Amino acid sequence: MASDSKEIAIDMQFFHMYTDGTVKRFLPNQFIPPSDDDPSAAVRSKDVVIDSETGLSVRIFMPGRRDATQKIPLVVYIHGGAFCIGSVTGPTYHNYVADLVDKANVVAVSVQYRLAPEHPLPIAFDDSWAAFQWVISHASSSSGGPDPWLNEHADFRRVFLGGDSAGGNIANDVAVRAGDSKLPAGVGVEGIFLMHPWFGGKEVDKLYKMLCPTSSGRDDDPRVNPAVDPRIGTMAGRRVLFCLAEKDWLRNRGMGYCEELKKSSWGGEVEVMESQGEGHCFHLFHPNTHNAVALMDRLVAFFNRP
């Protein structure tokens, strides 16, 4: 563990990054076990290791109350945390994704990508792309893939991809890669949802630069600013929902990308929901407030629109 006697390079609310590249996280490392052993539960969940060498895994959520004969939309969720913190097995993201699954009646796959700086960027991007490929591989043959929940319950014609903060940035990158590749037959990326997404600006983002030494850390990097990516016109997804917050310091960057996407050759449908009077990722920390419930309702409607 890093010592406080070291020189702090990045001072964030939930962690310190030091000049030697190490990080000290302040949030406790909490773990909520999956609940696959109770078939009567409102939401069941399980952990699946995709790559035993890297440890890449996902947590899969399935609604307990459902029509077993009906295939339901599939959501791939990528958590935020400045690429440095967060876990699909912690209470914040486990509870939020489980609530989303229960209310929207979807199958969700939450990606446990490896965190920087121990695993420098773009590892988080590559892990998330590998997880997405694993998920949609279940639609590539009549026998399906290794996970029976996905084989039996996921409607691969209605795939949704998204996340919050840094996870929104990663999700957008996965959507760009998906559009630039040949998806398996029967797979349709219906929508992308970007919740308070992190994107960079003209000035070098000091944290991102430390986490990704090969990047300029500014808006000439397509991951920092996807509007400059020449592949943006072929990005997967028929619809994109931007969820912004009035008092979020990232709000203007998210809106800026929204406007650039509209002007690009992509040609899909763009929606914007802005939560008034709220800050960055407020819905994760205060999920029962009026605005957080409204945001959840918008996501549910986005996934279930005919």
Q: DSSP of 172-183, one letter per residue?
A: HHHHHHHHTS-P
* 221 catalytic residue (yes or no): no
CA 70 to chain centre: 26
Measured distance CA(17)–CA(62) in Å, rounded: 37
Tell me whether residue 16 is one of the annotated catalytic residues: no
- Which residue do the tokens 């917050």 mark? 245
Q: Residue 266 to residues 151, 229, 238, 244, 270: CA-CA distances in angstroms?
A: 31, 12, 9, 21, 10
102 to 45, 95, 182, 207, 262: CA distances (angstroms) = 12, 10, 32, 35, 32
CA distances from 288 to 106, 185, 301 (A): 20, 40, 18
Q: Is 11 known to be catalytic?
A: no
Identify the active-site residue in 147, 248, 275, 283: 248
Structure tokens at 304: 């279930």
In whole angstroms, give the CA distance from residue 173 to residue 176: 5
CB atoms within 10 A of CB 62: 21
Catalytic residue among 87, 165, 215, 275: 165
Query: Is residue 269 within 8 Å of 238, Cβ to Cβ?
Result: yes
Residue written as tokens 């309702």?
A: 297
- Residue from 138, 153, 196, 280 carrying the catalytic annotation: 280
- Of 23, 21, 43, which Cα lies nearest the Cα of 32? 43
Residue with tokens 């996870």: 167
Residues annotated as catalytic are: 165, 248, 280
